[in-house]
Amino acid sequence: MRYLLPTVLIVLSIENIYSQVAFDSFCLTEATVSGLTSMDGSDEFEIDLYESKFLPDDTILLAIKQKRPNNGIGEFVIRAFDNEYHVVGRFDDRQTGNLALKHNTCTNGASVIYVDKIENRGYREIPLAWQATGLSSNLDEIVFRADIVSNQQIYRVKSAPLKRRSGPEFIPYSEDQSVNIDYCGESQGCLIVPQNCNNQAKCDYALSWQVLDEQTAKFHIVARASGFVGIGFSNDEKRGDDQVILCTKDVQGYVYVRNMFVSVQTPQYISSDRPSYGLRDTDGYANASHIICKFIRTLSLDADTSVDDSGKTRDGANNRNKIVNLKEPHYMYPVYADQDLVTSKGMRIPVQDIPIVNNHPINFERRIYPKSHPRAGS
């Protein structure tokens, strides 16, 4: 899956200063700068991966981000490592805004990207792109590491693991992959179709969710479908202008989890440059009869007001304002179909027989776990 790298830099200050640092040991796990001490930077900065899995030759979008108010991101080095701490893959050659990105090639041909001179006091976010090229067929996991200079200190940060996407093999419908209906209304909320399905009579569609903490909820969908499955979130009892999370199967059988916005039946990406906005720990797979999908979703997302170099709102940012705040009462409905999401007329979600699912709003803040059933309706 490939997406355009946004040329977006969020600057903390417009006051120009000029600094330059001399990084050493680019291809090791810890780059150094003479005269600067280092510390764990996980409380101050993070590496945000916009995909949780990769395939060979994929382009993976990521960003170095400020986690809380500080002096911002200054000079930095970032690279990807395998499980033996060898640098792997190559960072994209395109430039990001007005930053002077530089590349260093390690002895194995993999590349490191860095900035050794900045003209601003610091950045809140720096988007980048990395290509999964030249990787060993046995490599199952990659971790990105960054050394960030801020306030005359080196902060060391590493990403969550980026895992290889499993091959599209036949995965049997088993108890491990199913949603256990017996727990509905107790330890998890559920949305099931048809109403009388249970663990013995397999459901056409089953969704479970659990509120993990004040900020996140975990979702698990199993549906009898060969095209795509998902869940729709609506602020009212009418379909249209809703947010949906879709788990789509491509022609090779891989399942991708995407944040979408639906105007009537036509879906669009919530963010074309970041389709997994607000999602993490996404996982999806399919077999001959079912699509299984899991993800964690942030309950309340801040609207993105990032601008590009011309001062215009970047592509997709307007749709982000339409993400449903799950800390407020809302309605949910199932999405599942055998048809392909992408048709000759564009991206389409077939009209479902079930216009809306729950006859009362779901309130995740109350941590009540209802068992919801579809009903005919508006």
Which domains can be identified in the chain, with CATH numbers? 10-164 (2.60.40.4060), 181-372 (2.60.40)
Q: 318-351 pLDDT, tens per residue?
A: 556 677 888 888 888 888 888 877 776 667 776 5
Q: Tell whether pTM > 0.85.
A: no
- E-strand stretches of 253-290: 255-263, 266-269, 279-286
Round to whole Å and give the CA distance between 195 and 193. Answer: 5
Instruction: Find the farthest-apart pair of alpha carbons in the chain and give their distance in angstroms, rounded.
Output: 69
Give me the chain's average pLDDT, please.
Answer: 79
Asked which of 38-42, 71-75, 223-227, 252-256 is least confident by mean pLDDT, the reply is: 252-256
Return d(Cα 289, Cα 32) in angstroms, integer. Answer: 53
Q: Quickly state the pLDDT bin for 315 (edges 50, 70, 90).
A: very low
Residue type, 20: Q
| SS3 category, 7 | coil
Do residues 239 and 229 make contact, with C-beta atoms less than 8 angstroms apart? Answer: no
**What value does the mean pLDDT take over residues 295-322?**
55
Check if the beta carbon of residue 101 is closer than 8 Å to that of residue 113: yes
- Closest-CA residue to 144 (of 43, 62, 68, 45): 62
Q: Is the pLDDT of residue 40 over 70?
A: yes
DSSP state of 307: B
